[in-house]
Amino acid sequence: MNAPRAPKLTLSVQFPAKAFAAHKALLPRAKIAGWIRAALFAHAELTIRFVDEQEGRALNRSYRGKDYATNVLTFAYGESDHEPVSGDLVLCCPVVECEAREQHKPLDAHYAHLIVHGVLHAQGYDHEDDEQAREMESIETDILARLGYPDPYVQQG
C-alpha cells in the first residue's frame, strides 16, 4: 500500500527591499517551504512576499479598506476542487517584529504561525465567527506543535 503523496508546492519567495537582508538569513526558503507544506491539504502555487510598513499599509488600504499595516494579508485565487490552491501571502515585517516583541515570542515562531495562518486562509479557512475561529486556531496549534513551536494563542513570557 502506498503512503499518501504530499501536496505539491510551487513557491515564490520575495524580499523586495534591500533592508530585508537579515530576514533572508532568518527566513531561508527551505524553512518557509517547510512551514507551508505542514499546513497544506492540497497542491498549491503560492507567493510569499515580505514587505515594509508602507507597502503593507497601502495593500491593506487598497484591498481591505483599512488604513494601517497588518501582520499578514492573504489573497486567495481560483477556488476550485480541481485546481491547486493559488494565492499570495504578504507579511509586513515591521508589524510581525513588533508583535513578536510585545508577545514575548521568538521571531521565527511568530513568522511560522502567521505563514501557517495565511496558508490556511488560502485554502478557505476563516475566523469570521467563534466556531470558525476555534477550528482554525485548533488546526494552527496542531500544525505548529508538529513543527516544534508552542501554542501561539497562549501568552508567552
Q: Per the annotation, does 117 bind a ligand?
A: yes
Strand partners, 87: 46, 76
- Tell whether the torsion through CA atoms of 59, 12, 109 and 43 is positive or negative: positive
Q: Per the annotation, does 104 bind a ligand?
A: no
Q: Per the annotation, does 127 bind a ligand?
A: yes
- Tell whether the torsion through CA atoms of 93, 107, 19 and 46 is positive or negative: negative
CA distance 129 to 135: 10
CA distance 84 to 4: 17
CA distance 85 to 31: 20
CA distance 85 to 46: 8
Residue list, annotated binding site: 117, 121, 127
Residue list, annotated binding site for Zn(2+): 117, 121, 127
